[in-house]
Amino acid sequence: MTAYDIIVLGGGPGGYVAAIKAAQLGAKVAVVEEDRVGGVCLNYGCIPTKTLLKSAKVYQDLLASSQYGIDIENPETVKINWPNLMRRKTQVVDKIVGGVALLLKHNGVEVYKGHGTVIDAQTVDVGGERLSGKNLILATGSSPSMPEIKGLKESVEAGYAVDSTGAIALSEKPRSMTILGGGVISVEFATLYRSLGTKVTILQRSEGILKGVDESVRDTMQGHLKKEGVEIVTNVSIKHVDGSTVHYEVEGQAKSVESDVILVSLGRKPNLKGLENLPLEIGEKGVVVDERMQTNIPGVYAIGDLCGKMMLAHVASAEGLVAAEAIMGETSAIDYRKVPSCIYSFPEVGAIGYSEAEARAAGFDVGVSTFPLSANGKAMAEGETTGFVKIVHDKKYGEVVGVHIVAPHATDMIAEAAVSMMLEGTVYDMAKTIHPHPTLSEIVMEAAHGAVDRPIHIIKKS
């Protein structure tokens, strides 16, 4: 039996980061992964979808080239080469997977290929081979939830309905797609396929898409998607699925929609298979851990989607660092209120901290300042003016408690807010920080000026 200081079960963005960090701190580490290193994010989620979204953006830019003074003699000659589009996606993913494998090898982490079954808190079985470890980090991730809807299982088996993994591996571009659910993944896939010319319908159970995001963001994105041709049906009760047809009810009226593909995007659930021998405390969202990512079992830690705190790759990585450091005698923790979340739509969304409604409910003396993208020179030059930045702050000291951005590159811009909030920055700090011109980032500075007094480049009504 091979012995290690730490065994990491799962080689996704939480697991491989935890393994590398622990090895850098001097531990002997093994990673057990039944698929390829990189996890769902790298192989079937974050990276492939963003690669495909880039292709969709290029396609849209070509179709709109005339507004930039570039004429394509026959726009109908601009066509999507689906096999090449998918080939590029695979090439990007393979290159990054190879890079992760190289990093693990360089740091002395041993990788075991196969499904890991936990025998006890110090022992893992991988295809009949036993590994022993002083500590165990569980990083088994999550899987798409497949709700109990009549006929859905049969639709999946027949190839009509797919989850997000299936949606990035379609053999041809669908003419139509129905998306069950209106969360982040749904919006990204709606953006992707509508931009490529697919007729997209979103069926959402509640009164609006993107439940949980700031109301201004939700309203802007819902309106923009509709403007771009995405049909959004809310307050839906799905009754049953018959092959490629979804039957549902809205305000007592029976309706149905038929499409080439049905994308089921109704949440994710923690992967607990192989952990049955551990008496883990399981909460409503996943495995319960403390601030050091330790479970109720000494020496056993859990990170990432398995815990269900925030199902984001960068959160899993951050939690992996915390767990590795905790095992190796260092102390760190995560303030989940200061974790940015992103939506890779057109335009993008970046958000961190409290929404306006959450801040009021939390008892802050709330101040809000919003600056529109339409008043920004760089946005006008690029011809993309849908969006805004909204800063939510506590009036007492001016501390920034939430930032919400809808804009091209919002997923990059939100990092400025993350740094500011980690440093307990104020709207005064943001307003005094000189931003380069012309850039989209200036809207953050302008919104901060609006919080302090008045923005420069819009007329703020008293």
Kindly report, residue by residue over 280-339, the tens digit of the pLDDT: 999 999 999 999 999 999 999 999 999 999 999 999 999 999 999 999 999 899 999 999
CATH placement of domain 152-266: 3.50.50.60
Instruction: Specify the CATH number of the domain 338-452.
Output: 3.30.390.30
What are 100-116's pLDDT values in tens digits? 999 999 999 999 999 99
Determine the longest span between alpha carbons in the chain, in angstroms. 73
Mean pLDDT of 110-137: 96
Same fold, 2-143+269-334 and 152-266: yes
pLDDT for the residue numbered 73 = 87
Tokens of 370: 């919003």
Catalytic residue among 247, 393, 437, 457: 437
- pLDDT at residue 19 greater than cutoff 90: yes
What tens digit of pLDDT does each residue of 158-176 get?
Answer: 999 999 999 999 999 999 9
* pLDDT digit string, tens, across residues 398-445: 999 999 999 999 999 999 999 999 999 999 999 999 999 999 999 999
CB count, 10 Å around CB of 213? Answer: 21
Query: What is the C-alpha to C-alpha distance for residues 427 and 337, in angstroms, rounded to an integer?
Result: 18
Q: Per-residue confidence at 462, pLDDT binned at 50, 70, 90?
A: low
Inter-helix orientation angle 410-422/442-452, to 10°: 50
Share of the chain above pLDDT 70, in %: 100
Structural domain boundaries of the chain? 2-143+269-334, 152-266, 338-452
Q: pTM score, two decimals?
A: 0.95
DSSP 107: T
Residue 285 dihedral angles phi and psi, to the nearest 5°: -100, -15
**Closest by Cα among 391, 398, 381, 378 to 441:** 378
**Is 437 annotated as catalytic?**
yes
Q: Give the fold, CATH level 3, of 2-143+269-334.
A: FAD/NAD(P)-binding domain (3.50.50)
